[in-house]
Structure 1
Amino acid sequence: MGGSAVVVGGGIGGLAAAIGLRRIGWEVTVVERAPVLADGGAGISLHANGIRALDALGVGEAVRAAARPQYTGGTRVPGGGRLARMDGTALERELGTPIVGIPRAALHHLLRAALPAECLLVGAEATSVDRSGPGRVRIPLGDDVLEADLVVAADGVGSRLRAEMFPQHPGPVYSGSTVLRALTERPVELDTDFELTWGNGAEFGHIAFADGRAEWHAVLNSPPGVRHTDPLDVMRRRFGTWHEPIPALLNATRPDAVLHHDIHELLTPLPAFTGHRTALLGDAAHAMTPHLGQGACQALEDAAVLAAALATGPTVASALARYDAERRTRSQSVARAARRAGRMGQRLTHPLAVAVRNTALRLAPSRATVRTILRQADWTPPSLG
């Protein structure tokens, strides 16, 4: 089955969906509302399931070449004591690939490079879909209208297309956490590839990149909407006494490089990921908290499964039914697991509860950390045919 598709949203999930659709012979237009592709964002870790999805889409090797494998790291306390170690070698042995770290801008660039430039429509906003006809759908874009056999709504956590499809759904809610993050301006000496440090109601982590720079992030319990005139100074006051390399990471960061976003999630699961000739994908379908590092990986899984379903399904309707059946249960389960991980990790504040958790982590065998990651990362993509 072939056809034409409009993908709304030029982020990781939208670009991956476009690659998958083109790979099975579909004509694709990606509509991105940003007037300029600034490749914002900091860094990202990709687990084996995300890498396997990229392999199915034909871009896995390019991403591996630009990324840094994560073999060393784990979880610590602010004073530097070790709670748990991450055994990247064991993960690679189990899954065939380690977790990798890559700047978001580099990942966006690699995904765009797999698409012809003419299929990306920048500075255009699609806020609705006309599904009134019996056949193709129509997507208004200002004074223009695109027609397609399929719409992929990859327009993020605040998806307007999701709200149009499910007007009774409450939509995203604030998770109780806010995140500040940045890329360092220069290389930083790091002893680990990836690390998290948990304090009361706060988490600080880093991802090391192939060029020696790093991404750092700080997740804090906070009311929504709080912003700072000098966020880097706030980070230094909040985390400056925590163990190295946290102060070094902050000192290697430009003040204007710090990004600040409140974390929203779809606390109420959607009843479906599809409607008439429309598939919700990525955060539009299952926005989750970042505590398992699975948000982008789940979007990549979505893209691979959608392409496989359309490659083999006799009709768009049957392919979307398969996509919904395969993706909704899994991604919503991962979202629940991420929420639980946050409650036992960064969100935890009661001193006794923190002490019990820390003791349990210190006593747990290293294999327990591997098993925790395997629960979400051990996923095999379907064949695209």
Structure 2
Amino acid sequence: MRIAVIGAGIAGLSVAAGLQRDGYDVTVFEQRPEPSPVGAGLTLFRNACDALDMMGLGDSVRAVSGTDIASMRTGQRDPAGSWLIAVPPSTVASMRSVHRSELHHTLSSHLFPGTVHAGQTARVAADGTPRVTIGERAEEFDLVVVADGIRSTNRKVLGLDTGLRYAGYTAWRGVTHRPVNIGGEAGETWGRGQLFGIVPLPDHRVYWYATANLPAGTDFPDEHQAVRDRFAQWHAPIQECLAATPRAAVLRHDVYDLSRPLETFTRGRTVLIGDAAHAMTPNLGQGAGQGIEDAATLTLLLRDVDTSELDRALTSYSDLRLNRTSTILHRSRTAGRVAQAAHPVTVSLRNTVLRLIPGRLMGAMSQRIQHRPCPGPR
């Protein structure tokens, strides 16, 4: 079976590697001339690692990721550094952190040379016929997998797009260029309409992220200075993390998710995965994980399937993934609203409630998402 994958991000590379390991003829089209990732760090929870294992990719990803956070105190703090809630170590025991470029390189290493065709913008057929058009050239496949991200052009071509919603806040991200002592504490600090997150990476550098409620499209002449000024009075080691990050390494993007979940992930023999299918806010840390789950589910459903059984497999994929990803999309949106609360009364109430909630209860809620096995064939 010939399969085209459009997009060489995490979801696209994962499904390409999984399907190629199962013997399928896979071609990946990536519109960027150099398919290297733009990003900082990310976290992978147990569900993502289980899904990688199902595709035979887990061990190599573990080799470039770390679990330092499992031995740290983590949860939510206030800007002065007082803990609002600390979750049990079991909540993050299986959580792994990795630099996005390392994950991208590792997934790419599982592909045969020549699999990824960079600098090629691929378009699908509007009716879902498994055809890909690159410029004036059209290629026929048995299946097309669309993994071209949150602003997927192909989702629109297929008539599945529900539009994007601005979440109301922007996000900075960075990785320190040297180790920073974070005192055995990680997690997020929640203020009024802004937060700061700290995640240790395997080489003792720190991946950090920060958010602020701002109008979409707000511009700063110096992003590094903007984030330093905004969090200048917050607890240590926030300023230390920012000082250890090169100015050019600070990234910022406005946060969007899908306005509403899609009704289906398939059109004919074309299927959506990753952010193209269910772009969500980052508040639950499940964006990459759900894309990897998509890849594993599709890989398992297509295992030993011939073209006569393909339509049924794609229907199963859409049915299996729609409910789970829609639920997480909505929960992540709700979590974002809570974390980004700005009114003094609302923030005071939120902080009081967090202090009253047992950490083990918060941990149990998180684990229900993390520990769910990747769905496979029925």
Q: CA deviation at 1:192?
A: 3.4
Give the aligned CA root-mean-square deviation in angstroms.
1.7
**Alignment of 1:125 onto 2:121:** yes
Separation in 2 of the partners of 1:26 and 1:384?
18
Q: CA deviation at 1:203?
A: 0.9
**Alignment of 1:83 onto 2:76:** no
> Sequence identity, in percent?
38
Aligned runs of 1:108-187 on 2, under 5 Å?
108-129=104-125, 131=127, 137-166=130-159, 169-187=161-179
- Compared with structure 1, are the counterparts of its residues 138 and 193 closer, same or farther at alpha carbon in structure 2 (3 Å cutoff)? farther
Which amino acid letter does the alignment assign opposite residue 118 of structure 2? Answer: V
SS at match of 2:254: strand
Q: CA deviation at 1:149?
A: 0.5
Which amino acid letter does the alignment assign opposite residue 28 of structure 2? Answer: V
- 2:187 counterpart (163, 184, 195): 195
Task: Tell me if the contact between 1:178 and 1:261 (Cα under 8 Å) persists in the aligned partners.
Answer: yes
SS at match of 1:270: coil
Q: How many residues align?
A: 373
SS at match of 1:263: strand
Q: CA deviation at 1:143?
A: 3.5
> 1:74 maps to which residue?
75
- Compared with structure 1, are the counterparts of its residues 130 and 355 closer, same or farther at alpha carbon in structure 2 (3 Å cutoff)? closer
* Gap runs ≥5 in structure 1: 93-97
Separation in 2 of the partners of 1:353 and 1:329?
31
Q: CA deviation at 1:86?
A: 3.0
* Gap runs ≥5 in structure 2: none
Q: CA deviation at 1:205?
A: 0.5
Separation in 2 of the partners of 1:272 and 1:138?
19
Q: CA deviation at 1:300?
A: 0.4
- Compared with structure 1, are the counterparts of its residues 12 and 68 closer, same or farther at alpha carbon in structure 2 (3 Å cutoff)? same
Task: Tell me if the contact between 2:122 and 2:134 (Cα under 8 Å) persists in the aligned partners.
Answer: yes
> 1:95 maps to which residue?
none
> 1:12 maps to which residue?
10
Q: CA deviation at 1:116?
A: 1.1
- 2:212 counterpart (220, 228, 238): 220
- Compared with structure 1, are the counterparts of its residues 129 and 88 closer, same or farther at alpha carbon in structure 2 (3 Å cutoff)? farther
Q: CA deviation at 1:88?
A: 3.0
Aligned runs of 1:1-385 on 2, under 5 Å?
3-69=1-67, 70-71=69-70, 72=72, 73-89=74-90, 91-92=92-93, 98-129=94-125, 131=127, 137-166=130-159, 169-192=161-184, 194-311=186-303, 313=305, 315-345=309-339, 347-382=340-375
Deviation readout 1:273-311 (Å, 9 max, x if unpaired): 001101100110100001000000000000000111111
- Compared with structure 1, are the counterparts of its residues 384 and 58 closer, same or farther at alpha carbon in structure 2 (3 Å cutoff)? farther
Q: CA deviation at 1:384?
A: 8.4
Task: Tell me if the contact between 1:130 and 1:139 (Cα under 8 Å) persists in the aligned partners.
Answer: no
- Compared with structure 1, are the counterparts of its residues 55 and 88 closer, same or farther at alpha carbon in structure 2 (3 Å cutoff)? farther
Separation in 1 of the partners of 2:91 and 2:127?
49
Separation in 2 of the partners of 1:86 and 1:30?
40
Separation in 1 of the partners of 2:334 and 2:177?
34
- Compared with structure 1, are the counterparts of its residues 22 and 193 closer, same or farther at alpha carbon in structure 2 (3 Å cutoff)? farther
**TM-score, normalized by length of structure 1?**
0.93
